[in-house]
Amino acid sequence: MYDTSKRFVFDDWAQLAATDPEAFELRRKRAIQALLTQAPADIRRRLEGLQWKVDMVRQRSRDPQHACAQLFSMMWDSVYGGDGLLNALSMDEETYRQRASKRMGEATLLSFSTHVKRQETADA
C-alpha cells in the first residue's frame, strides 16, 4: 500500500517517470488507490468513476500531451458546461435538487440477458 502520509515531491516523481516508467505507473496507481480508499464512503464511488474516466482518456490518447489536453477540456466542461459547477452555484438549492433528481430519473435500463438470448438464437 502507498503511504499517503508521505509528502509529494514532484522532482522524485519526475525522476522516477524518466528512469523507470513501469515503476512510476505502479507507484501512481498505488497512490491513487490509497487516496480513493481513504475517501468518505458517500463520495468514494463518484471519485472512482472520475478516476476511471481519467484512465480511459489516458489510455485512448495518442500521447501524454494529447491526454493532458483532453483532461484539461474535461475539467473546464465540469466547471463551465451546462451541468457544470458554475451553473450549479448560480441556482438555489431547491432548483439544483429538482434538476439532479430529474436527470437521475431519465436513465433507460437495458436488459443484457435478453440481448444475449437473442444473440445466441441468431447464432444457432
Tell me what pLDDT residue 52 has: 96
Dihedral in degrees, nearest 10, Cα atoms 60, 66, 72, 74: -30
Tell me what pLDDT residue 83 has: 77
Residues 83 and 85: their CA atoms lie apart, in Å, by 7
Query: DSSP readout, 72-97?
Result: HHHHHHHHHSTTSHHHHHHS-HHHHH
Buried b (16+ CB within 10 A) or exposed e, 48-82: eeeeeebeebeeeeeeeeebeebeeeeeeeeeeee
**Mean pLDDT calculated for residue range 105-114:** 68
pLDDT in tens, 38-52: 999 989 999 999 999
Domain boundaries, the chain: 39-123
Tell me what pLDDT residue 55 has: 96
Q: In the predicted model, is pLDDT for residue 119 greater than 80?
A: no
**Mean pLDDT calculated for residue range 24-30:** 95
Confidence of residue 66 (pLDDT cuts 50, 70, 90): very high
Cβ neighbours of residue 86 closer than 8 Å, sequence gap 6 or more? 79, 80
Q: In the predicted model, is pLDDT for residue 123 greater than 70?
A: no
Tell me what pLDDT residue 103 has: 64
Tell me what pLDDT residue 112 has: 78
pLDDT in tens, 81-109: 877 888 878 887 777 777 777 766 566 76
